[in-house]
Structure 1
């Protein structure tokens, strides 16, 4: 699995969307765009009644933004365009007419926490610690904030954002409402995801659609808000502080 990809498969009316990059599933622009389109396609596919979002590999669910691409950003437009990739994925998940189950097998950092937060129901392993590290490199979790705060609350979001270099345990994430349940092994996680997805796929599709609408009511402004937040991050990534920080990691 050395090449980045986004794949979609369908089994028993469950659409599985899997993303992968060799850099611990850190997300460059092309993968973000492919993920956005895959989610939109799943929403339009009548053979899919429920979606499972997962990542390839055994260790990290998603390491957030691709540092390689962040370092290469040279102007505000490029910065806004990159962070809009995360905004567009979250908005696609929000607008998708199918319920989305998150399958988080390992650590989630930054944008990875945003993706988990934008699912409708998220299951994880005990290895799926979470961290919002953005402020430590001179930017901030501005694009993902509405999704994360909606799931774990303002207090927990503030704590994680300010204590930016700490990984919070999967149990913490469960206590705060990000994860519905936490399992000891990936095998147990996959069994639970399959059981839930199979059950949901057998339910009335019209009822599931109405539930999705209720779950995401009062979020229509995100279509504009998240792009505005992307511009903030796009500006900050150009700062000398952030440039030096990113280079120190490369």
Structure 2
């Protein structure tokens, strides 16, 4: 199947779904489309609540595109590349509607950042998480603020340093990333649908004000996440990372 980002409005719930055949990794063009779709859905009066999901039954998101990562040869290109997830996270942060995360499977790197930037996140028992960036000589600089906000500094630093390990969905629930963990994808989908449609009965203005309250203290993220993208853009050009990336070709 071809990569895509699509939005479906069902009963006032905007389902935003992304897909890429490489385990739902996200190249720059998909990240740009995802950020635009979130922003546009936030401005659509017919949509009361958003659900962020990915296609397929296995991996939620494998993070950034390794093909594009390997091809970075200058700092400006690196900054633009790493700004992709920054722009999506900022679109989610500034969206005036609650975003529910539907995490059906493993999620890595930038995918953990997306899950952390949702306002209410539900998962299956297969939704293990990993911050793998240190493995290639960089770090979770761009997604770090979102992950730290949701999991706390202790848990975020644990998975950022232990970059080889997948942490279970139950662990992620204990740390506050997931609100509920379900046995099957079918159970997850039914729970997400019921929960999202119930939220549609609430006052949109009240939910918008609540979201602003929840995200208080992140007003500098437009600048902060781009600064973090510049750090990653420099590190990806280091000899260590270039040699490491060759092993992934």
> Which TM-score band (shorter chain)?
over 0.9
Spell out the pairing of 1:107-186 with structure 2 (5 A cutoff): 107-186=106-185
Q: Give me the TM-score of the superposition, normalised by structure 2.
A: 0.99
Spell out the pairing of 1:163-242 with structure 2 (5 A cutoff): 163-242=162-241
Provide runs of 4+ in structure 1 moved above 4 Å.
Answer: none
- 2:230 is paired with a residue whose SS is helix
Q: Distance in 2 between matches of 1:245 and 1:104?
A: 29
Q: Distance in 2 between matches of 1:248 and 1:48?
A: 45
Unaligned 5+ runs, structure 1: none
Q: Distance in 1 between matches of 2:244 and 2:55?
A: 28
Give how far 1:153 is off: 0.5
Give how far 1:203 is off: 0.7
- 1:174 is paired with a residue whose SS is helix
- 1:249 is paired with a residue whose SS is coil
Q: Distance in 1 between matches of 2:17 and 2:243?
A: 33
The yes-or-no answer on 1:83 pairing with 2:70 is no
- 1:60 is paired with a residue whose SS is coil
Spell out the pairing of 1:98-113 with structure 2 (5 A cutoff): 98-113=97-112
- For residues 6-35 of structure 1, what are the alpha-carbon distances to aligned partners after superposition, in whole Å with 9 as ceiling and x for unaligned? 000101110000000111011100000000
Q: Distance in 1 between matches of 2:204 and 2:135?
A: 43
Unaligned 5+ runs, structure 2: none
Q: Distance in 2 between matches of 1:200 and 1:234?
A: 40
Q: Distance in 2 between matches of 1:236 and 1:26?
A: 21
Give how far 1:101 is off: 0.1
- 2:60 is paired with a residue whose SS is strand
Give how far 1:238 is off: 1.0
For 1:45, the equivalent position in structure 2 comes to 44
Give how far 1:247 is off: 2.0
Aligned residue pairs total: 249
Spell out the pairing of 1:20-99 with structure 2 (5 A cutoff): 20-99=19-98
- 2:247 is paired with a residue whose SS is helix
Q: Distance in 2 between matches of 1:197 and 1:42?
A: 15
Q: Give me the TM-score of the superposition, normalised by structure 1.
A: 0.99
- 2:2 is paired with a residue whose SS is coil
- For residues 144-166 of structure 1, what are the alpha-carbon distances to aligned partners after superposition, in whole Å with 9 as ceiling and x for unaligned? 01100000000001110111000
Give how far 1:245 is off: 1.6
Q: Distance in 2 between matches of 1:107 and 1:244?
A: 27
- 2:198 is paired with a residue whose SS is helix
- For residues 55-85 of structure 1, what are the alpha-carbon distances to aligned partners after superposition, in whole Å with 9 as ceiling and x for unaligned? 0011100000100000011100000001111
Q: Distance in 1 between matches of 2:42 and 2:241?
A: 37
- 1:24 is paired with a residue whose SS is coil
Q: Which moved more, 1:105-114 or 1:239-248?
A: 239-248
Give how far 1:110 is off: 0.4
